[in-house]
Structure 1
Amino acid sequence: GALNLQTDEIHPLVLNNQVIDVVKQQKNHATELIEDFMIAANGVVARLLEKVSSLRRIVRTPERWDRIVQLAATKSEKLPAQPDSKALNDFLLRRKAADPDHFADLSLAVIKLIGPGEYVLERAGEPAPGHFGLAVQDYTHSTAPNRRFADMVTQRLVKSLLAGQSNPYSESELSTIAANCTEKENAAKKVEREMSKRLAAVAMQHRIGEVFDAIVTGATDHGTFVRTLQPRIDGLLAQGEQGLDVGDKLRVKLIRTDVQRGYIDFARA
């Protein structure tokens, strides 16, 4: 079912109220088991609410599937012309085994091409689009009412249904809530990304001149971007970028940080 994607979550390491490093969050079987339980619970709740209007969490079938097919072709792989989550997952599993060092970058590219998740209104008897990333038709968010308003709304819907009461929200209200939750989630993620960049710049500002092993993660008209292996820091290769392509390994020297902008610049060592 669900797409096997790897996203590296980086967290600051704080000592005496100072950010001294950034570290990758390690996953284990326990965290994976919890995620599986959460997905199962959300599916059960979604099916429970099928007969009433409710909120759904969806990831639409990718409109840019052709680009995913092209991406697979660059790895000498072939995907079907029409969106197929199982075929995509099989491709991802093969790439994870063949090239684990670059799998997080491949995962990020696929996530961007699939597109973001969103909240939508599902009317009773009118199924909403499913969740392409999880390969399920019925899905909602219900397990974190302490930090997501959409989950709180869903819990209220479940409570009213079990009590035999009428729906506490009209369809118009649910539609507005869905749009607002999607908008606020996107805004929050943008802030998270910007703060992560600034925290990384804070952690690296005292390491100017140090040399790191790195991998090229992007080569565009805007510049060549690299990720150091330890710690996992993304930055711009400001000097010595000629002749490099995505996937190339190299040594880089940290030459500049800008905490206010979240910029980290390297030069080829």
Structure 2
Amino acid sequence: MSEQDLCEEEQKLCKEWLAKNYLTFKNDTYKFNSKYRAGVLGLVQKGTAYLHVIGDNVKDLYIDELGRATEGDLIIAQRLLGKRGGASAKIAEIVGREESYGVGYIVERYGHKSLVDLKTDHPVGAELTQGEINSYKLGDVFKIDYQEHKIMEKLGHISDPKVDEKIVLAQYNKHDEFDEEVLKIARSFAPVDAKRYPNRKDLRDLPFCTIDPVTAKDFDDSIYWDDKNSTLYVAIADVSEYVKPFGALDNEAMYRGFSIYLPHRSIPMLPRELSETLCSLQPHVDRLAYVFEIKLDKKTLEVIESDVYEAVMHSDRRFNYEEIDDFFDGKLKAKTDEEKRIFDALTKLRVITDRLKEQRLKVGFDFHSVEIEMTLDEDTNLIATKESKETPSHALIEDCMLLANKEAAKRYDRGIFRIHEPPSQSKLQTLYQELSAIGMQIEIKPTIKETIEAIQKQAKEMGIESDVDTLIIRSQMQARYAPLNSGHFGLGFEEYTHFTSPIRRYSDLIVHRLLKAIKKGDTKEGSYVLRNIETLAMMISEKEREASTIESEYKARKYARWAKENLHKEFKARIIATDPEVRAELHDEIIGAKLNITHSENVVLFENVIVRIDKVDIPRARIYAAVVGKAD
């Protein structure tokens, strides 16, 4: 950590740690002494835990004497060198706790009101008198600061479906509104005037188009295929032109990390003045873009050369996925010369992306997991669900973006990489055992890829392709961001990053800043971007997990409220787990709801059954059901 990045309080702390020999100080930079590491204490089991070490390419440390330390504590640990076994350490100092927030609600216990945690049902140790608790209604919901042990705000009442959004956001201290200081910066930018950017490449004559979901408002990416020169242009919103390092706008984007997408609305990483307007590659207006120009060999589809540069572009047309699928199916014709030009290019580009996908799947995986789309009414109650399937238009855009992301990752050795490690042998063994139990013949091939592809082939023949793919995905390591490259197992790529969505992912904004610094030969800016890259990669990975959890927990709450309205009714479902407990998933008029099965006899994995919804726990978003018969 560079001294100039530290505030006064942090400088004081670093000097204390320097005196304790935890740190070294050289060339205005603090680094950890080789004997010491800092990290967050993971799950405590039987008095031991692993320390999740902050830093690049460093292993977690095993700690067998925890003293007063508990899960979530920020620790400085002394490495135990020369000790046999895995890397281990002892706790030198507990320096704080991870930020911790939660949600509590008022219940009645033993004849009096009590404030309990929504997830655990344990009493919340907030500083409240019994008189204060009695002033609230049963079911009132509150955001809790567990570090300070205090109530931060009342969120609403557990019976109101609109409180679900507040609950899932409060658990991670997320907020929707932007401070006025941030909004003031976002509103301060002038509309794009190409004359003000003489050093940018002018691509306004190229017929770019965007292809997105019908509900999208933030258009990150636009494409154009020049078939004559076998060149793909991937134009990405140039967020880094507006969101500069330091300052309120960048701090807020970093804090949020990702846009969050709920079924009825989005909670953007950037103010809507940027995410849905000035940065968004809207049709028929000039926009600033950061563009990859990628020339391909038409025979091999190898990249002959690529360049990335700042440009001014002008999207000629905004399409949704359904429109492009209709065009590919012959159901949509060009209405203008402009559209005809775009459709001609897309027809030729589809041949290229289909071949790119075919090549990619020779080294990477093809998983058929099911995404569920929810439709909510104006009170945010669930009224319908449908499976979201990949179509030719999705596939075309995906392979264009993958190509740009790969090219971006090739341009540096240290930065932000998207890595995905191979699964552990223990997880694979569990997977093989689960599949053997339903009668699948598991043959271990020379590589994991060959083994999994043989399993997928068998699953397809059995008609349980997406179910088995879901289990395979569950056995994988989680993809994450890292400062050093170690490849992407799932995609089969040697190097990969995220470049194409800076409106909704902070990782991509960092990649843009780094590529611009490299392009300009600006070593000062480049070194600034990389200065705290280890901590940043770790933080972004954590923010991604939070956003994903918020999105899935919100859906679980909508399912639970729907189930409450359908108590004692019977539905078709599929068994999705038998160990350690039986679980099922609804496959009826509503699909995707997870069910905790309380009564079942002789059910097997992936069996279709009839279930009766017996009980719903709204605070914890759990649905309990009994298997009452077999389905066809």
Scaled to the shorter chain, the TM-score interval is 0.7 to 0.9
Deviations 1:81-134 (A, max 9, x none): 6x533x14522541452134x333322222222210111112xxxxx2110000
Q: Distance in 2 between matches of 1:79 and 1:70?
A: 12
The DSSP-based 3-state class of the residue aligned with 2:551 is helix
Q: Distance in 1 between matches of 2:451 and 2:520?
A: 42
1:179 Cα shift?
A: 0.9
Is residue 595–residue 624 contact of structure 2 (8 Å, CA) maintained in 1?
Answer: yes
Q: Which moved more, 1:53-62 or 1:168-177?
A: 168-177
Distance 1:163 1:130, change over 3 A: same
Mapped pair 1:219 → 2:584: no
Q: Distance in 1 between matches of 2:494 and 2:542?
A: 23
1:194 Cα shift?
A: 1.8
Distance 1:35 1:93, change over 3 A: farther
The DSSP-based 3-state class of the residue aligned with 2:571 is strand
Mapped pair 1:97 → 2:460: yes
The DSSP-based 3-state class of the residue aligned with 2:504 is coil
Candidates 585, 607, 611, aligned match of 1:248: 607
- When normalised by structure 1's length, the TM-score is 0.86
1:141 Cα shift?
A: 0.8
Deviations 1:213-264 (A, max 9, x none): 221111124x31111212222201222x122121222111222222321111
Is residue 423–residue 475 contact of structure 2 (8 Å, CA) maintained in 1?
Answer: yes
Is residue 215–residue 226 contact of structure 1 (8 Å, CA) maintained in 2?
Answer: yes
Is residue 55–residue 154 contact of structure 1 (8 Å, CA) maintained in 2?
Answer: yes
Candidates 79, 100, 113, aligned match of 2:444: 79
Distance 1:112 1:206, change over 3 A: same
Aligned-partner residue type, residue 84 of structure 1: I
Candidates 162, 166, 171, aligned match of 2:519: 162
Equivalent pairs: percent with the same residue? Answer: 21
- The residue correspondences of 1:253-268 to structure 2 (distance < 5 A) are 253-268=612-627
Aligned partner of 1:63 in structure 2 is: 424
The DSSP-based 3-state class of the residue aligned with 2:559 is helix
Q: Distance in 2 between matches of 1:92 and 1:54?
A: 36
Is residue 456–residue 468 contact of structure 2 (8 Å, CA) maintained in 1?
Answer: no
- The residue correspondences of 1:100-115 to structure 2 (distance < 5 A) are 100=463, 102-115=464-477
Q: Distance in 2 between matches of 1:203 and 1:29?
A: 33
Aligned-partner residue type, residue 489 of structure 2: F
Q: Which moved more, 1:199-208 or 1:147-156?
A: 199-208
Aligned partner of 1:125 in structure 2 is: none
1:58 Cα shift?
A: 0.6
Is residue 578–residue 604 contact of structure 2 (8 Å, CA) maintained in 1?
Answer: yes
1:198 Cα shift?
A: 0.8
Aligned-partner residue type, residue 179 of structure 1: M
The DSSP-based 3-state class of the residue aligned with 2:421 is coil
Aligned partner of 1:53 in structure 2 is: 414
Distance 1:53 1:92, change over 3 A: same
Aligned-partner residue type, residue 414 of structure 2: S
Aligned-partner residue type, residue 209 of structure 1: H
Q: Distance in 1 between matches of 2:429 and 2:595?
A: 29
The DSSP-based 3-state class of the residue aligned with 1:132 is coil
Q: Which moved more, 1:9-18 or 1:68-77?
A: 68-77
Is residue 21–residue 204 contact of structure 1 (8 Å, CA) maintained in 2?
Answer: no
Q: Distance in 1 between matches of 2:422 and 2:542?
A: 20
Aligned partner of 2:595 in structure 1 is: 235
Aligned-partner residue type, residue 131 of structure 1: H
Mapped pair 1:145 → 2:507: no
Candidates 358, 361, 370, aligned match of 1:8: 370
Greater helix proportion: 1
Mapped pair 1:197 → 2:197: no
Aligned-partner residue type, residue 227 of structure 1: E
Is residue 372–residue 388 contact of structure 2 (8 Å, CA) maintained in 1?
Answer: yes
1:53 Cα shift?
A: 2.4
Distance 1:12 1:98, change over 3 A: same
Is residue 252–residue 266 contact of structure 1 (8 Å, CA) maintained in 2?
Answer: yes
Aligned partner of 2:337 in structure 1 is: none
The DSSP-based 3-state class of the residue aligned with 1:55 is strand
Unaligned runs of 5+ in 2: 1-362
1:69 Cα shift?
A: 4.7
Q: Distance in 2 between matches of 1:30 and 1:170?
A: 35
Candidates 487, 495, 502, aligned match of 1:130: 487
Is residue 216–residue 248 contact of structure 1 (8 Å, CA) maintained in 2?
Answer: yes
Q: Aligned residues, how many? A: 257
Unaligned runs of 5+ in 1: 123-127
1:155 Cα shift?
A: 1.0
Q: Which moved more, 1:202-211 or 1:38-47?
A: 202-211
Aligned-partner residue type, residue 375 of structure 2: L
Question: RMSD of the alignment, in Å?
Answer: 2.2
The DSSP-based 3-state class of the residue aligned with 1:220 is coil
Q: Distance in 2 between matches of 1:31 and 1:243?
A: 41
Aligned partner of 2:403 in structure 1 is: 40
Is residue 130–residue 138 contact of structure 1 (8 Å, CA) maintained in 2?
Answer: yes
The DSSP-based 3-state class of the residue aligned with 1:145 is coil
Q: Which of structures 1 and 2 has the bigger CA Rg?
A: 2
The DSSP-based 3-state class of the residue aligned with 2:404 is helix
The DSSP-based 3-state class of the residue aligned with 2:398 is helix
Q: Distance in 2 between matches of 1:219 and 1:66?
A: 17
